Chain A
């Protein structure tokens, strides 16, 4: 019970911070390196505590991102729903992967996400982007171990200190 309440606080906090991070303006070409913060946070929660984050919440988060980014309403929603669904499917296996294997899985997941986004873009008649378009998933993947260790550490420390 306590564990669940702790999770809820940390969950809300991490999601809010991720939203703020995604809204921070990045000048010019640096934007290509911008990690998909919300996806990283959502991945952590869906892998470690799937009861905190369902497809519905992923959808709502995606809508929020769409508004922040000025993209088509529903684009990020669809992408996040896919990410959370796929990660949820492989959750049990992912939990026992070593970190590098987990990160690799996330790279593949985020590259797939780029394909989904490319597909959406092609439907709305946009031009094909250049190679820099594929940089962001790599940046996100490099960040994954840190995000994971940070959240995991916070999560366990909090629950331990409450029990004591």
Chain B
């Protein structure tokens, strides 16, 4: 009697405890993975393997958009027009970007400053892409872009819209890639104040409407100043607009000034973006 009851209870107990053990093991592994992924890049190959396995599904997931595009296009003649229109739009975007770059360069020249080496490359070429924004992770300011390694996208390519720099590609899979926006709390971009020539680093704050510049000298930046990428470090091409200074405060502890700036690019609104080919000169 007693043993019968014991054998009734035992399996239940072991089943429960083994699933707790599993829960603990899987949680620990998951947390370990997250830490490894957060701290370093050596999970890239695992990501690539998984993304290759998922390729057909990712492909299938593009079907609704593809069908939508087809329906919207209608007949073939219209498709040709659309192709032309797309090419023109890309051209306009490119021109606007270049134009804004030239404006920045002009005021630079007016001050007769010696230009940095990184500024030499002015040839901008890029690919037009769409932001598809999976948005499963609303904390980090990242966007998913519709081009991936199949289109030749590489980690480090810079993302711009018609107003300025938006961010940089930080992960690439076959059909899409992920870009980290300037407003991400982990993002930073070397900038230069066009008016004064002061150089600083603009940090993301987790807010698409503001970047922060710390440890500025007095008068280095004023409200309304345009900030352009300085090109130092070679990651971002020099001269592209980054942000406009909104306000400047004195930090009483350090004696330096802190500026808040509004990004020129519409970080949370642009849907069409340009991925610049990474042919800017490497850091001098």
Contacts and interface: CB of A to CB of B under 8 A. Distances in A.
B234 to A, nearest CB: 25
Contacts of A127: 139, 185, 205-207
Given A74-B32, A127-B206, A25 B133 contact: yes
A34 interface: yes
B61 A59 contact: no
Given A25-B133, A31-B133, A125-B185, A74 B19 contact: no
Max count, chain A CB within 10 A of own CB: residue among B34, B51, B133:
B34
B80 interface: no
Contacts of A22: 136
Interface stretch (B52-60, B104-112, B158-166): B52-60
B147 interface: no
Interface in A107-125: 120-121, 123-125
B23 to A, nearest CB: 5
A23 B58 contact: yes
B82 interface: no
Contacts of B19: 55, 85, 88
B171 A70 contact: yes
A74 B54 contact: no
A64 B173 CA distance: 13
A78 B34 contact: yes
B133 A81 contact: no
B26 A59 contact: yes
B283 interface: no
B136 A72 contact: no
Nearest to B184: A126
B64 interface: yes
Interface stretch (B42-50, B119-127, B213-221, B240-248): B42-50
Interface in B108-162: 132-140, 142, 144, 146
Contacts of A68: 54, 57-58, 134
A55 B22 CA distance: 7
Interface string A118-156: 001101111101001100000000000000000000000
A23 B37 contact: no
Instruction: State which size class the interface on A falls in.
Output: 35 or more
A52 interface: no
Contact of B139 (A20, A24, A121): A121
A124 B133 contact: no
A20 B57 contact: yes
Interface in A20-61: 20-28, 31-32, 34, 54-56, 58-59
Contact of B30 (A26, A64, A70, A78): A78
A71 B135 contact: no
A55 B25 CA distance: 10
A88 B58 CA distance: 30
A127 B181 CA distance: 14
Contacts of B186: 125
A19 B57 contact: yes
B11 to A, nearest CB: 15
Interface of B: 19, 22-23, 26-27, 29-34, 36-38, 43, 46-47, 50-51, 53-54, 57-58, 60-62, 64-65, 132-140, 142, 144, 146, 171, 173, 178, 185-186, 205-207, 271
30 contacts: A20-B61, A21-B61, A22-B136, A23-B57, A23-B60, A24-B61, A25-B61, A25-B146, A26-B134, A28-B271, A54-B22, A55-B22, A55-B26, A64-B50, A65-B136, A67-B51, A68-B54, A69-B137, A72-B34, A73-B34, A73-B37, A73-B46, A77-B33, A81-B26, A81-B30, A85-B19, A124-B139, A125-B185, A126-B140, A129-B139
Closest 7 CB pairs of A and B: A31-B135, A126-B139, A74-B33, A25-B132, A127-B206, A23-B61, A69-B136
